[in-house]
């Protein structure tokens, strides 16, 4: 699959709309149009193909510590799983939930230091400066890189030209290569809108076609066609 750079897409938009001598649209605005397009595509992807942006990150436990930072690029706190592994001991951390979750957390913290408990967790937000964090219960009773977070990351955006250079922005590989045609058409629509161009109405129709093609593609993203609905058995894990 071809990896499209921002520069390639920007050049196509410019050439296909005859904007070579354009002065109304600044370089940063053009980057903004591209980033808006990728954010739009990202929202569709997260709704349909949940694991498209799947990623992992290690977490190092420190004895006595409860709070651990989420990965910097996580999308909307979408944690798919947190796995504990220490040699042959492997299990998923379960999120503490339900009407008695605060009581359950307190009991787990109290007895956890005296006997072996599987770690469980909350997501908390103590301040805007720190942001969201994982709070594990009980506090860590060991040291080491023993947790792995499986999570959904956000789309990688193109940096503004004003923060670097046109060449640096042009060299960035777009994060969603399968749907570059949607990004391309979205950017065209934004440019035509800014220009007040009468071609906008036709361009919007083409954009909706590209959006539908993207949704249809995402709906059957898994190549083996296994579309069996997997039952949610988390209830049994959380009440064992």
In this structure, are 161 and 200 located in the same domain?
A: yes
Mean pLDDT of 10-38: 93
Contacts of 155 (CB under 8 A, 6+ apart): 38, 39, 41, 42, 53, 175, 176
In this structure, are 140 and 119 located in the same domain?
A: yes
Please give the residue range of the domain that contains residue 234: 52-154+228-238
Give the CA count within 13 Å in the CB-facing half-sphere of 158. Answer: 34
Average pLDDT, the chain: 88
Contacts of 99 (CB under 8 A, 6+ apart): none
At 113, the pLDDT band (50, 70, 90 cuts) reads: low
Cα 32 from Cα 186, distance rounded (Å): 11
- pLDDT at residue 83, rounded to an integer: 96
- Taking a C-beta distance cutoff of 8 angstroms, is the pair 117, 138 a contact? yes
In this structure, are 29 and 61 located in the same domain?
A: no
Task: Say yes or no to pLDDT of 226 above 80.
Answer: no
Length of the chain counted residue by residue: 240
Mean pLDDT of 99-117: 76
At 228, the pLDDT band (50, 70, 90 cuts) reads: low
> Is the residue at 64 inside a domain?
yes
> Is the residue at 1 inside a domain?
no
Task: Say yes or no to pLDDT of 111 above 80.
Answer: no
In this structure, are 88 and 185 located in the same domain?
A: no
At 237, the pLDDT band (50, 70, 90 cuts) reads: very low
> What is the number of structural domains in the chain?
2
> Is the residue at 28 inside a domain?
yes
Cα 123 from Cα 232, distance rounded (Å): 21
In this structure, are 209 and 232 located in the same domain?
A: no
Name the percent of the chain lying above pLDDT 90.
65
- pLDDT at residue 97, rounded to an integer: 87
> Is the residue at 107 inside a domain?
yes
In this structure, are 103 and 43 located in the same domain?
A: no
> Is the residue at 162 inside a domain?
yes
In this structure, are 27 and 128 located in the same domain?
A: no
Mean pLDDT of 116-121: 80
Task: Say yes or no to pLDDT of 164 above 60.
Answer: yes
In this structure, are 43 and 60 located in the same domain?
A: no
In this structure, are 27 and 61 located in the same domain?
A: no
Task: Say yes or no to pLDDT of 236 above 50.
Answer: no
Mean pLDDT of 116-126: 84
Contacts of 229 (CB under 8 A, 6+ apart): none
- pLDDT at residue 231, rounded to an integer: 59
At 149, the pLDDT band (50, 70, 90 cuts) reads: very high
> Is the residue at 147 inside a domain?
yes
In this structure, are 84 and 186 located in the same domain?
A: no
In this structure, are 171 and 73 located in the same domain?
A: no
In this structure, are 62 and 87 located in the same domain?
A: yes
């Amino acid at each position: 699959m071809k990896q499209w750079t921002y520069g390639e897409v920007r050049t196509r938009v410019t050439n296909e709309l005859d904007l070579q001598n354009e002065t109304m649209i600044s370089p940063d605005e053009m980057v903004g149009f591209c980033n808006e397009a990728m954010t739009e595509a990202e929202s569709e992807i997260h709704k349909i193909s949940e694991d498209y942006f799947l990623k992992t990150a290690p977490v190092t436990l420190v004895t006595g510590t409860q709070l651990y930072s989420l990965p910097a690029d996580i999308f909307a706190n979408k944690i798919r799983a947190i796995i504990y592994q220490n040699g042959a001991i492997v299990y998923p951390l379960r999120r503490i939930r339900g009407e008695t979750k605060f009581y359950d957390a307190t009991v787990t913290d109290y007895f956890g230091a005296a006997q072996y408990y599987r770690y469980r967790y909350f997501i908390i937000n103590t301040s805007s400066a720190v942001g969201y964090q994982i709070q594990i219960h009980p506090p860590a009773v060991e040291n080491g890189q023993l947790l792995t977070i499986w999570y959904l990351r956000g789309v990688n955006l193109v940096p503004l030209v004003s923060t670097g250079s046109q060449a640096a922005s042009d060299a960035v590989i777009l994060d969603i290569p399968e749907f570059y045609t949607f990004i391309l058409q979205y950017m065209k629509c934004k440019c035509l809108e800014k220009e007040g161009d009468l071609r906008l109405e036709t361009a919007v129709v083409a954009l909706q076609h590209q959006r539908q093609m993207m949704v249809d593609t995402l709906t059957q993203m898994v190549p083996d066609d296994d579309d069996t609905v997997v039952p949610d058995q988390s209830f049994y894990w959380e009440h064992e």
